[in-house]
A and B are shown apart, each in its own frame.
Chain A
Amino acid sequence: MEINVFENIGEKFLQGLEGVLRLVDRINQSEDEEDILIFQNNFFVTPLFILPLLVYVSGSKKRIRYQFTNSYLDMIQFGSGGIKPEELEFSALHHLLEKYSAKTYIPIIDFPTDQKYIRERNEILSAVENLLSNQIRLQPNITAGLKYLIEESVDNIIEHSDSKRGYIFGQSYPSKKYMDICIADNGITLLGSYCKMEGNTITDHLSAMKAANFGISTKNLTGAENRGYGIRTSKKMLVDGLSGNYVMLSGNALYLKSKTIERFMVLPDIATWQGTIVAMRIPYVNASFYYIDFVE
């Protein structure tokens, strides 16, 4: 079935996710084995639309293709699913990223999680963090916070998701003084990670979402390192420190956190993601912010 995509995502952070949910609904209503998403030219989408859509499509049993002539989707490398840094020479990668230095967004980065690509992954992530920082001239204190937020989410993908790939995408809004960053994987979900834990008692996506956000690590090892602080400190830093917004989606569990709102939600079964997505709206002007204040 051909599905025309007319989304025009506004300022509200969740509108990107609402747009993807509408698409998921239409995909599920189609009885065809293959659907084609036809993106209209005049639309604007956000990271919280793009990466959840990519992850949903990659985990879908249906064959879903894209069709678009939109230059923004081209520039962010949407059609190919993102830039794969290990497939490019270092100099070619940097030359490619140079094209974005005057933009307010980065391309989708599709990074490998395998340990043999540690160097490539670390280099591309550092390059992306620097690019985001330089595009809008972030102050050093915010750049350090940005690195922390990105690195903790990426490390969770590497350590827990069993996903071969991870994704990062970001867009800044200079007139609003915030940026949206989305980091995702198409791995085993939070629930899958807990199910691998010895003595696990968690059996559904909502409980796994709560456990992850209450600091229960799947790798709490007796007498050894103590984990479970990455998500907690990241949220504290983002929400309390920067007055930002935090969204996590895994399976069909959705979690939202802002200064005034915290919600755990269960989406209908047709809206189940084979992976985990973290999205952050990061206000980036805050002279008194110091990321170390939020590291427990």
Chain B
Amino acid sequence: MKDKVIDITAYIGRDLKSRIAVRKFYDKISNEQRTTVKIDFRNVNFASRSFMDEFYNIFIANADKNVELINLSAEIEAMLDAVKSTQHRAKNSANKISSHHDDIRFSSISEANKYLEALPFS
């Protein structure tokens, strides 16, 4: 059976964004009775990191489907490399978050505003 080439922009649009878009895309094409699929990124304008992270985990790390990505731009390749490299990195633990004596607490709005007005924050 000839591999099907799927233009991803036909399903999602030229800007690839949001994790939920990946999940919906997967649902749509997983109904296809093929185990190998080529996903064409030729017409993609932009892809967010969140999108590519979800895409990596659902399509590339997924053993159920054999997916080949074609016509990736340099930016999309770089984004994919970035999300690949951060998979299974040691995670920051919430236990390390603690109160610090430098935390600033205001007892009134006027006190807060006085502080903010004096701050050289552009």
Q: Which A residues are within 8 Å of any B CB, using their own CB? A: 12-14, 17-18, 21-22, 24-25, 115, 118-119, 121-123, 125-126, 129, 144, 147-148, 151-152, 154-155, 158-159, 194, 200-202, 206-207, 210-211, 214-216, 220, 223-230, 233, 245, 256, 258, 260-261, 263-268, 270-271, 281, 292, 295-296
Contact = CB atoms under 8 A, between A and B. Distances in A.
Contacts of A258: 121-122
B21 interface: yes
A172 B100 CA distance: 37
A12 B120 CA distance: 9
Contact of A155 (B48, B92, B103): B48
Nearest to B115: A265
A270 B109 contact: yes
Given A14-B122, A158-B20, A292-B75, 11 more contacts: A14-B117, A14-B119, A147-B17, A148-B48, A154-B17, A214-B92, A226-B91, A230-B49, A261-B119, A268-B108, A296-B85
A173 B44 CA distance: 30
Interface of B: 12-15, 17-21, 24, 46, 48-51, 53-54, 56-57, 74-75, 78-79, 82, 85-89, 91-100, 103-110, 112-113, 115-117, 119-122
Contacts, number: 168
Contacts of A123: 13
Given A25-B109, A118-B20, A265 B50 contact: no
Contacts of B46: 144, 147-148
B119 A226 contact: no
A200 B105 CA distance: 24
Contacts of A194: 94
A211 B94 contact: yes
A256 B120 CA distance: 11
Contacts of A226: 53, 86-89, 91
Contacts of B89: 226
A144 B75 contact: yes
Nearest to B23: A115
Sorted nearest first, the 9 A-B pairs with minimum C-beta distance are A151-B48, A225-B57, A155-B50, A25-B109, A266-B105, A151-B17, A265-B104, A13-B122, A295-B82
A174 B48 CA distance: 27
Contact of B86 (A152, A214, A229, A281): A229
Contact of A13 (B50, B93, B121): B121
A118 B94 contact: no
Contact of A265 (B14, B24, B95, B112): B112
A86 B104 CA distance: 41
B91 to A, nearest CB: 5
A216 B91 contact: yes
Given A264-B104, A268-B108, A229 B120 contact: no
